[in-house]
A and B are shown apart, each in its own frame.
Chain A
Amino acid sequence: MNTVVCMKQVPDTETLIKINAEGTGIVTEGVKWVMGPYDEYGVEEALQQKEKFKAGKVTIVSLGPDRAIEAIRTGLAMGADTAVHINDAAFYEKADPYATASALAAAIKDLEYDVIFCGKQAIDDDSGQVPAILGELLGLPVITQVIKLEVADDKSKATVTREVEGGHAIIDVPLPAILTAQKGLNEPRYASLPGIMKAKKKPVDVKTVADLGVSVEPMTVIKEMSLPPARQAGKIIEGEDAAEKAKALAKALHEEAKLI
């Protein structure tokens, strides 16, 4: 089975995020970058499907600046076969979900695939739009938040389980299709040393957006970014007994917090 995995390199969740001076993005210096955690489920699933079918190729496609190669190499070290690195810092800088999906679509359209995996969202921008737009551009069905995948032996269709509020939905989808990975789909493997050594020799096709013939402009622009307000100090409700404390609490919730 051939698969494509769309992968974005994102700041590690442990990294302290600061907003840049212009207020339009984050300070990228000193940030630790990792493979998007949901994308990682995608890579793992692609590898597991390849192992199950005992044939096929896993191709990672990533849009990002020079540094993105580190996350690509991690994917290759996990076991992916090849990668396309759309290395275009200027385009990446202002790319919105539409622009990103356009670049990915251009890179993917000539590849062979039965499934395209994406993470359910990138944990930095959290837009969650790229897979859907990609589906539109490539004319493919998109199933989001997949937690289980069974591909038919002839690869003509798949049965996927996705999370819905309070339960699961089981869906039959014709292939090729785009599936977005949700936590629970699998347990991603660790890049082992032999995998790391092999990854050094695996081919990475580096392209600019111009090479791909993409000339779209982003449809949206980030005007301003801000951090969530710092958490205020807690307040201890005083009172003689439980009844009095409860009264004071209700009052505070009503008058100060305006919650009730």
Chain B
Amino acid sequence: MYDEYFGQSHIMLRESVRKFIAKEIAPYVDEWEEEETFPRELYKKAGNAGFLGLGFPEEYGGSPCDIFHEVAYTEEIMRCGSVGLASSLGCNAIAVPPILAVGTKEQKQKYVPPVLAGDMIAVLGVTEPSGGSDVANLLTRAVRKGNKYIVNGSKTFITSGTRADYVTTAVRTGGPGHKGISLLIIEKGTPGFSVSKKIKKMGWLASDTGELFFEDCEVPVENLVGQENQGFYAIMLNFQKERLYLAVEAHAVAEIALEESIKYARQRNAFGRPLVGFQVTRHKLAEMATLVEASKQFDYRVAAKISNGQDAFKDVCMAKNFATTACDKVVYDAVQIHGGYGYCREYMVERLYRDSRLFSIGGGTYEIMNEIISKQMKL
């Protein structure tokens, strides 16, 4: 029995994404990486093309689809060669689902359609300066006063944070631990909410990563998403898809790095023959290809499981760890094959090497994935 995950509609979607990249991103991406930002209108363009609404309900301006359309989009958008740009453009994918999952009808109507249309930027704010792994012990406090929550605290490493129109923010409304966490929608311009700085990073340069401050920030109680003190579950639910995306991004980046390496190894000569003329290079490429293929197939399998409604809590952590580790190895070898040029900005593998380093940190670190896996193994 052989099942193909991708059909004609997936192929056509890929084609649209490729065209979008060729026209809207590729000519400018190097500049944007240098400038550490990209024009806001790219959200609108992606929204118009229907990319931001993939997998979201039609009544809120989305385009319902199967999980492999999302996988296909994720793989293709990586071909813009800047993981930061793709992630910043797609930041709504982790900020909107909690609202749709547990928010009120009013919240959904107000906060979802403009984001999917590319008119608003929505981001997810969980991580704090004091720690990102230990979500259950986050410190940002929200105290209810009349019809407002008074929020105090800060968030850091927030993708697209410096120009977000709202932040789906994890705050502490109750006692310690995971049972005291709620989600609030905090809009830009709310008194007491400020963006303190754009963080300088190793990679993901085109993506603005922000540190956010809340100082007696007054948030209307209508902006509570879901039940008070039930926010942790919504966050955990959200992680499943995010981790799958990160795994897919990792195998996609690895695949691009492999393709770039093959191209380079064919055309670069050393000791009078092309690099592919050396068995060492050929074997290296063979191993890279094997890693790419294995992580791809694993990721597809997990995606199929999720789409089938099966429990994939453990699987998705395994897939993320496998794909990100494989990607680390592949981009390392890709730079190696490129020699000194692989260390230079002019070559795509240089950026892929830096950008991919985040895969085993963001969305739950490698170690946290192993924690979850081992717990599920009931060791």
Q: How far is the CB of B266 from chain A (nearest CB, A)?
A: 13
Cβ contact within 8 Å between A196 and B19:
no
With contacts A73-B8, A197-B9, A200-B9 taken as known, whether A191 is within 8 angstroms of B15 at the C-beta atoms is yes
Cβ contact within 8 Å between B54 and A200:
no
B residues less than 8 Å from A192 (CB atoms): 16, 49-50, 63
A residues less than 8 Å from B16 (CB atoms): 190-192, 196
B residues less than 8 Å from A74 (CB atoms): 12, 15
Interface centre among A73, A74, A197 (most CB of B within 10 A): A197
With contacts A73-B8, A200-B8, A200-B9 taken as known, whether A194 is within 8 angstroms of B50 at the C-beta atoms is yes
B residues less than 8 Å from A73 (CB atoms): 8, 12
Q: Does B65 contact A (CB under 8 A)?
A: yes
Q: How far is the CB of B347 from chain A (nearest CB, A)?
A: 19
Cβ contact within 8 Å between A193 and B69:
yes
Q: Which of A48-77 contact B (CB under 8 A)?
A: 73-74, 77
Q: Which of A170-211 contact B (CB under 8 A)?
A: 189-197, 199-200
Residue among A190, A194, A195, A197 making CB contact with B19, cutoff 8 Å: A190
Q: Does B13 contact A (CB under 8 A)?
A: yes
Q: Does B239 contact A (CB under 8 A)?
A: no
Q: Does B48 contact A (CB under 8 A)?
A: yes
Q: Which of B57-80 contact A (CB under 8 A)?
A: 58, 63, 65, 69
Range, interface on chain A: 10 to 19
What's the Cα separation between A200 and B12 when bound, in Å?
11
Q: Does B20 contact A (CB under 8 A)?
A: yes
Cβ contact within 8 Å between B63 and A191:
no
A residues less than 8 Å from B54 (CB atoms): 193
Cβ contact within 8 Å between A193 and B9:
yes
B residues less than 8 Å from A197 (CB atoms): 9
Q: Which of B208-224 contact A (CB under 8 A)?
A: none
Chain B residue, CB-CB nearest to A78: B16
What's the Cα separation between A190 and B12 when bound, in Å?
10
B residues less than 8 Å from A200 (CB atoms): 8-9
Chain B residue, CB-CB nearest to A195: B50
What's the Cα separation between A190 and B49 when bound, in Å?
6
B residues less than 8 Å from A190 (CB atoms): 16, 19-20, 48-50
Residue among B8, B13, B48 making CB contact with A193, cutoff 8 Å: B13
What's the Cα separation between A19 and B16 when bound, in Å?
29
Q: Which of B1-38 contact A (CB under 8 A)?
A: 8-9, 12-13, 15-16, 19-20
Cβ contact within 8 Å between B13 and A196:
yes
Q: Which of A125-164 contact B (CB under 8 A)?
A: none
Chain B residue, CB-CB nearest to A192: B50
Q: Which of B247-262 contact A (CB under 8 A)?
A: none
Chain A residue, CB-CB nearest to B20: A190
Q: How far is the CB of B269 from chain A (nearest CB, A)?
A: 16
Cβ contact within 8 Å between A189 and B48:
yes
Q: How far is the CB of B251 from chain A (nearest CB, A)?
A: 22
Chain B residue, CB-CB nearest to A77: B12
Cβ contact within 8 Å between B65 and A193:
yes
Chain A residue, CB-CB nearest to B50: A192
Q: How far is the CB of A68 from chain B (nearest CB, A)?
A: 15
Q: How far is the CB of B5 from chain A (nearest CB, A)?
A: 16
B residues less than 8 Å from A194 (CB atoms): 50, 58, 63
Interface centre among B12, B20, B63 (most CB of A within 10 A): B12
Q: How far is the CB of B264 from chain A (nearest CB, A)?
A: 17
What's the Cα separation between A193 and B49 when bound, in Å?
9
Chain B residue, CB-CB nearest to A34: B15
What's the Cα separation between A191 and B8 when bound, in Å?
13
What's the Cα separation between A197 and B50 when bound, in Å?
13
What's the Cα separation between A224 and B63 when bound, in Å?
49
Interface centre among A73, A189, A191, A200 (most CB of B within 10 A): A191
What's the Cα separation between A190 and B58 when bound, in Å?
18
A residues less than 8 Å from B19 (CB atoms): 190
What's the Cα separation between A241 and B58 when bound, in Å?
71
Cβ contact within 8 Å between B12 and A189:
no
Question: Other than the known A74-B15, A190-B16, A195-B50, what 15 A-B pairs have Cβ atoms closer than 8 Å?
Answer: A189-B48, A189-B49, A190-B49, A190-B50, A191-B12, A193-B13, A193-B54, A193-B63, A193-B65, A194-B58, A194-B63, A196-B12, A196-B16, A197-B9, A200-B9
Interface residues of chain A, those whose CB is within 8 Å of chain B, are 73-74, 77, 189-197, 199-200
| Pairs A–B under 8 Å by Cβ, sample size 25 | A73-B8, A74-B12, A77-B12, A190-B20, A190-B48, A190-B49, A191-B12, A191-B13, A191-B15, A192-B16, A192-B50, A193-B9, A193-B13, A193-B50, A193-B63, A193-B69, A194-B50, A194-B63, A195-B50, A196-B9, A196-B12, A196-B13, A196-B16, A197-B9, A200-B9
Report, nearest first, the 7 A-B pairs whose CB atoms are least far apart. Answer: A192-B50, A190-B49, A190-B16, A193-B63, A196-B12, A191-B16, A196-B9
